[in-house]
A = this chain, B = another copy of it.
Amino acid sequence: MAGSRRRTGRPRSAAADRAILDATRSALVELGWGRLTMGDVALRAGVAKTTLYRRWSNKNEMVVDAVAVLFDELELPDRGSLRADVEGVVLSFAELLERPETKTALMAVVAEATHDEALRARIRAAIVERQKRLVVEGRRRAQARGELPPDPPGPRGAAEAARAVDLVFDVIAGAVLHRCLVSAERVTPVWAESLTTLLLHGLTAGAPQPVPSRPS
Contacts and interface: CB of A to CB of B under 8 A. Distances in A.
B145 A210 contact: yes
Given A149-B206, A198-B199, 14 more contacts: A83-B214, A104-B111, A107-B107, A107-B110, A107-B114, A111-B111, A113-B184, A120-B184, A146-B208, A147-B207, A148-B203, A168-B203, A178-B178, A199-B203
A123 interface: yes
Interface of A: 31-34, 81-83, 100, 103-104, 107-108, 110-116, 120, 123-124, 127-128, 145-149, 163-164, 166-171, 173-179, 181-185, 190-191, 193-195, 197-211, 213-214, 216
Nearest to A33: B111
**Copies assembled:** 2
A200 B202 contact: yes
A203 to B, nearest CB: 5
A207 B144 CA distance: 13
